[in-house]
Amino acid sequence: MCLAIPARIIEIDPATDIAQVSLGGVRKEISLALVNDAQVGDYVLIHVGYALNKLSEEEAEQTLALIREMGLLEATEEEGATPGGQA
């Protein structure tokens, strides 16, 4: 549930707590009312026009690294495994 997408803050109006975020060339106005200390350059998770939370770059990289590691381990063991389909 709860469609949300990460976008980068490119501008903040401190008076209104409204920010401009950018996502793949699209700019959108969102409210920062739900997050503290968001800065220009931060990535925030956008949901119904609000930033829900900041994203952690570090954690994202660690997750990706872990995924690569989990996959690689396997890839060496069972190259080309083809699990059967089930809908």
**In angstroms, what is the minimal distance from the CB of 62 to other proteins?**
7
Of the residues 10, 11, 40, 56, which one makes contact with other proteins according to CB under 8 A: 56
Of the residues 3, 14, 39, 41, which one makes contact with other proteins according to CB under 8 A: 3
Q: Does 59 bind other proteins (CB under 8 A)?
A: yes
Alpha-carbon span 5 to 55, nearest angstrom? 10
**In angstroms, what is the minimal distance from the CB of 38 to other proteins?**
11
Q: Does 40 bind other proteins (CB under 8 A)?
A: no
Beta bridge partners of 54: 44
**In angstroms, what is the minimal distance from the CB of 44 to other proteins?**
10
Q: What is the DSSP letter of 83?
A: P
CB 7 within 8 A of CB 25: no
Alpha-carbon span 54 to 40, nearest angstrom? 11
